[in-house]
């Protein structure tokens, strides 16, 4: 394996890793955690789109 192809493979795997991490962070669970930190002193309801 040449140094250039090793570098290309490494960059490809790193970009794939970041892509997977970004896709994982878009789940409903994360949205719910964000919404659950709202002020609980007033009567309110959640509206999901």
> Each residue of 31-41: pLDDT tens digit?
555 555 555 56
Maximum Cα–Cα distance across the chain? 64
In a domain, 13, yes or no: yes
In a domain, 14, yes or no: yes
CA atoms of 9 and 48, how far apart (whole Å) = 41
In a domain, 1, yes or no: yes
In a domain, 9, yes or no: yes
Contacts of 9 (CB under 8 A, 6+ apart): 1
pLDDT of res. 7: 92
In a domain, 11, yes or no: yes
> Each residue of 16-28: pLDDT tens digit?
887 776 655 555 5
In a domain, 20, yes or no: yes
In a domain, 41, yes or no: no
Q: Could you list the residue range(s) of the whole structural domain that residue 9 is in?
A: 1-25
In a domain, 32, yes or no: no
Spatial CA neighbour of 32 closest among 22, 21, 46: 46
How many domains does the chain fold into?
1
């Amino acid at each position: 394996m040449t140094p250039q192809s090793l570098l290309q493979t490494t960059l490809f795997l790193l970009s794939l890793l970041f892509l997977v991490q970004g896709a994982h962070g878009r789940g409903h669970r994360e949205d719910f955690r964000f919404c659950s930190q709202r002020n609980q002193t007033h009567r309110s309801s959640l509206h999901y789109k």
